[in-house]
Structures are given as structure tokens and as C-alpha cells.
Amino acid sequence: MACNRADYLERTIKSILKHQNAVASKYPLFVSQDGSNAQVKEKALSYDQLTYMQHLDSKPLQTERPGELIAYYKIARHYKWALDKLFYEHKFSRVIILEDDMEIAPDFFDYFEAAAALMEKDKTIMAVSSWNDNGQKQFVHDPEILYRSDFFLDLDG
């Protein structure tokens, strides 16, 4: 997921390509750009290993409550548009979402492959995340434990 930071997008794409392995090569890569930043589009199109999608939304936005930031609604529209494309048009049964400022660990794809197997077995698992505020070295006692949560993190709150 990208918008207007070509340099960040490049770091993310390079990180993904660096860690592609037999597992990762099974999954096609997409960049979904929100908006028309020319540098982001050019950067995304410079990689043959991915498919580029562009979300151009000119519909007016209205917040639900006074004082809310319109940017959150724009981001939500982009996510909905991109996920609709991937799930309904491309017929994927699951996707991994990365924003344009993320770099991945060497075991990223193996982690999600194992998590996908868990999701197939346990239909009460709605989503899997590799983001964890408590994943820092001083908090981790067993790097092989997987924790289950009943909430999504609010990264902005």
C-alpha cells in the first residue's frame, strides 16, 4: 500500500525481493498506489516482479463526526478498493498487506505460511499480524511462541 513516498516504497520492495524464497515465490506481488504521485508510480512500474494498481478517488468525503481527519477516510477507501480488487477481481483467498514504510524479516514469508495453515484449521482466527508492540527483545522470552489476541491494535491511539 503506497501513496506519495517513492523512497519508502523502494525500500519496502527491495526488502521483499531480498527475502523472497521458495515460499514467497508462490505469491504474486502487488503495489496499490493511492493517488497520482508520479515518482511512486514510476518506482512501482520499474519492477517487473510486481503488478501495479492505482486508486484514483475524486468522490467528496464527509466525516461521521465533526473534527475527524479526512485522511483516515481516504486511507480506508484505498484499502477497501485494493482489497476488493485482490479478493473479488483476482480471486485471492488471503493477502498479506504491507505499507510503504515497512521492511521485513528473513522469516516473514515462512511465518505467514505457517499462520495460513493455522487459519485453515481454526476458522475462529480472523487475521494474522506480524506487528506487535511487545515483540521487542526485552519482552520476548520464547521466540517460537505465537500469541492470540481478541483485538486489533490501534497504531494511532
Domain count, the chain: 1
Give, in order, the Cα–Cα distances in Å from 122 to each of 101, 102, 125, 148. 31, 28, 6, 12
pLDDT tens column, 18-31 = 988 777 778 899 99
Is pLDDT above 70 for 95?
A: yes
Residue 44 lies in a domain: yes
pLDDT confidence of residue 152: 60
Is pLDDT above 80 for 73?
A: yes
Is pLDDT above 80 for 98?
A: yes
Residue 17 lies in a domain: yes
Question: Could you write out the DSSP letters of every residue in 82-104?
Answer: HHHIIIIIS--S------TT---
Residue 145 lies in a domain: no
Give the structural domain span for 34: 6-103
Residue 157 lies in a domain: no
Residue 136 lies in a domain: no
Q: Is 122 helix (H, G, I), strand (E, B) or coil?
A: coil
Q: Determine the angle formed by the axes of helices 6-18 and 38-45, rounding to 10 degrees.
A: 20
The pLDDT mean for the chain works out to 88
Q: How does residue 86 score in pLDDT terms, banded at 50, 70 and 90?
A: very high
What CATH number is associated with residue 32? 3.90.550.10
Nearest-10 Cα torsion for 33, 38, 42, 44: -10
pLDDT tens column, 110-155 = 889 999 999 999 999 988 988 766 667 777 778 777 777 776 655 4
Residue 137 lies in a domain: no
Residue 149 lies in a domain: no
Predicted model pTM: 0.84
Q: Tell me the CB-side half-sphere exposure of residue 40, using CA atoms within 13 A.
A: 21
Asked whether 61 and 34 are in contact (CB, 8 A), the reply is no
